[in-house]
Amino acid sequence: MRLYRDPDAPGRLDFDRGLYERIAKTDQKQLVHAHIVPIRSGYAWQVKAGSLVRLLTVEGPQVCDLNLWNMNNPRERFWAARTRQLQGAHVTTFDRLWSCLPYLRPMATITNDTLPTTPTANGGRCHDLLGSRCDPYLYKLLDDRDYDVTCHNNLTRAVAAYHLTELDVHDVLNVFQVTGLDPVHEIYFMEPSPAKPGDFFEFFAEIDLLCAISTCPSGDLSEWGWGPEGADPVANCHPIGVEVSAVDGELLKEWKPPEPVSIDSVY
Ligand SMILES: [Zn+2]
């Protein structure tokens, strides 16, 4: 078996982890934005390159669907599939979130993650890149049900203020979500989120970002869809906290914003 990437010899994907450790631990930072995103809703916000973004489970477990765009050019956006190839099917500290073609650069580097990184008994891991967002088309297709607070709806509403539409919403990083593939059929499975009040997932913005999240209507995914016997799992839903901190410029002197990959031509 040949791994797509050797985690012990990352080669040209290597970067100075010490710098990101110092950024993660620094107290030379200033909180510049804080917001609580209510259950079953979306929120979008801008982040300057060189900032830390923290997503927090403030009251209890909750899955959080994340989209990223280049704030100055929304055609450059998060590419879940390439990130899955380059980093792994689940991400944690020191993994990077990559942008789509024709750009291909790290949009963000994960600096802090308080969730478990060891697999569950079923082989499930946290912060999922295997699945995507829940959406109203699938509810209609599978159940003939109209449902308008899916993550796709929430993300679409959140980015409308930035003149983006549902065509701009893309495959997500499912923060705080535990998933895997069953070993027999490789069918996607989900497990309840283990996030506790105060847990967080933090990343460093490598470029100016527009971020958007949805607080998934299935909450912590202990009962997804509408729960057993048609029960609505609203009791399993919790808000998500967003915090943005500006990192002191002195610490960022060693940091260089990444450039898109430059090639001669695709034609
Ligand atoms: Zn969802």
- 151 Cα–ligand 1 center, Å: 4
What is the pLDDT of the chain when averaged over all its residues?
Answer: 95
How do residues 150-160 score in pLDDT, each as one tens digit?
999 999 999 99
10: confidence class by pLDDT, cuts 50, 70, 90: confident
Burial of 105 (0-12, 13-18, 19+ CB in 10 A): middle
- Tell me what pLDDT residue 193 has: 98
Q: Is the pLDDT of residue 214 over 60?
A: yes
Q: Is the pLDDT of residue 8 over 90?
A: no
- 165 Cα–ligand 1 center, Å: 18
- 218 Cα–ligand 1 center, Å: 6
- Tell me what pLDDT residue 96 has: 98
Residue percentage of the chain with pLDDT more than 90: 88
- 4 Cα–ligand 1 center, Å: 29
- Quickly tell me which residue has 């003939």 as its tokens: 144
- 8 Cα–ligand 1 center, Å: 34
* Distance, CA of 162 to CA of 215 (rounded, Å): 19
- 190 Cα–ligand 1 center, Å: 12
- Tell me what pLDDT residue 67 has: 98
How do residues 59-90 score in pLDDT, each as one tens digit?
999 999 999 999 999 999 999 999 999 999 99
- 149 Cα–ligand 1 center, Å: 8
3-state secondary structure of 25: helix
Q: Would you list the DSSP string of 123-166?
A: S-EEEESSS----HHHHHHHH------SHHHHHHHHHGGGT--T
What are the tokens at 194? 């283990």
47: confidence class by pLDDT, cuts 50, 70, 90: very high
- 255 Cα–ligand 1 center, Å: 35
How do residues 129-166 score in pLDDT, each as one tens digit?
999 999 999 999 988 889 999 999 999 999 999 999 99
- 51 Cα–ligand 1 center, Å: 27
* Distance, CA of 4 to CA of 14 (rounded, Å): 15
What are the tokens at 146? 């109209």
* Distance, CA of 59 to CA of 76 (rounded, Å): 33
* Distance, CA of 136 to CA of 129 (rounded, Å): 20
- 152 Cα–ligand 1 center, Å: 7
What are the tokens at 138? 């699938």
Report the run of H or E that residue 51 belongs to, with start and end.
strand 51-57
- Tell me what pLDDT residue 227 has: 54
Identity at 162, one-letter amino acid code: Y
pTM for the structure as a whole = 0.96
